[in-house]
Amino acid sequence: MINQDIKDSNAYNTYYDFAIGKVPPRKARKYKKVASPSKKLSPVKEAEPETTKRSMKDFHISQASGSGDGTDFKSGVLDEQQRKISGDSEDDNDDDSEDDNDDDSKGD
């Protein structure tokens, strides 16, 4: 399977020496990868302001606090309902006056 040309090759001899333990393996070198040109920022991108993207913490800080400034819990619909309940609306007064007339006719 392995012919003489393969046995004589430098790559096979290096592999064989490491495999039988004749030569100890070299210690792995740790190094930083150099950023590729495609990952480097272009001058156009550096000129843009960095405020386009905020972290979630900054986003919540910039929002209005829960102090209640600018918020109104009473809407127009709720005001109308409160008037009807308290009897301040004109429709309720008209109904009361009609009821009074009915009571007067019964009393006579």
Confidence (pTM): 0.24
Cβ atoms of 9 and 3 closer than 8 Å? no
Q: Where are the domains of the chain?
A: 76-107
Strands (E), 14-106: none
pLDDT at 34: 75
Sign of CA dihedral 48, 52, 57, 62: positive
Q: d(Cα 97, Cα 95) in Å, to the nearest integer?
A: 5
Residue where the block lists tokens 């495609």: 38
pLDDT tens track for 61-101: 666 666 555 555 555 555 556 666 665 555 545 555 555 55
Give me the chain's average pLDDT, please. 66
pLDDT at 9: 93
Q: Assess whether pLDDT exceeds 80 at residue 7.
A: yes
pLDDT range class, residue 10, cuts 50, 70, 90? very high
pLDDT at 12: 92
